[in-house]
Amino acid sequence: AVFSHDESLVMVPDARANAVACWDAQSSALLTRVAEHSQPITWIAASPATPAFMTCSTDECVRFW
């Protein structure tokens, strides 16, 4: 799991959906899932200064969100 730059979100790879699940860090509510990979996500990195992150997957793609 990875926290967003302001620690308001927790981003977790969802292997069943090949997506990133974004959870509210305060309430533990699922806010959204972002899915553009065709295979499981192996890495998530959050920007230290902006509300952006990157993912890598076994589909050999890197995505910038």
> What is the tens place of the pLDDT at every residue in 16-56?
899 999 999 999 999 999 988 999 999 999 999 998 999 99
pLDDT above 90: residue 15: no
Count CB atoms within 10 A of the CB of residue 13.
20
Cβ–Cβ under 8 Å, residues 29 and 19? no
Continuous H helices in 1-65: none
